[in-house]
Amino acid sequence: MKRKTILITGASSGLGLGMAKLFAADGHDLALCARRTDRLETLKTELLQANPTIRVEIMALDVNDHDAVFQVFRAFKASFGTLDRIILNAGMGKGASLGTGYFEANRQTAMTNFVAAIAQAEAAMEIFREQNAGHLVTMSSVSAVRGFRRALNVYSATKAGLTTLTEGLRVDVLGSPIRVSCIHPGFIRTELNEKVKKVPFIVDLETGCRALVKAINKEKPTAYVPGWPWLWMQAIMRVLPAKMLRGFS
């Protein structure tokens, strides 16, 4: 099914920006939102110059402003008439080991990656239930399969929560025209991890985003991206002794 109009949160950089470029090249109309509107303006200009037949609308959005999430999603719906796919991409990777003085960073990650995701999913599902159609996509992580240390401790917990939330949403709408997918990216080079030098199996942004878009378009319930090596790595990670997980963080 061709999902003509796609809304992407956190679209000003990283995976959101990369996916927007690929969806635009494939002829999709785009509703893009993020905090940094200057970057969105630049992206909109670039997308329309490269793909003059598509439509691109942008709006400022901090997903931690929950009222604004509902307002922005509804405004895009009113503008486009229909939203065919909504990708909950906005996220954060701040944090450190608990008990080391970084509670605020850990709290911000928890609020952005999980609580704000609930607000976005609520707003998206309201629209899809009204339309009786749509495809909700959540961006979890391969780190959701286990608990990890240091900066990944709270991060992996939020992504595990998001994976479970997404599964429950999918069960809730089984048998309806609404589809729900949870994508688990592996290590993809973005601004969030550009200073981290030793990252196992990391791929560049374009390679990672092409794999993400391919997985999203398949609309399967869950996907690990890129498939190699993360499809088999996630299975191995589930049974690794705890001491062997230290190499991932």
What's the CA gap between 183 and 234, in Å, rounded? 13
Angle between helices 205-218 and 14-25 (to 10 degrees): 60
Q: Where are the beta strands (DSSP E) in the chain?
A: 5-9, 29-34, 56-60, 85-88, 134-139, 178-185, 222-225
Contacts of 78 (CB under 8 A, 6+ apart): none
Query: Catalytic residue positions?
Result: 155
Query: Rg (Cα) of the chain, in Å, rounded?
Result: 17
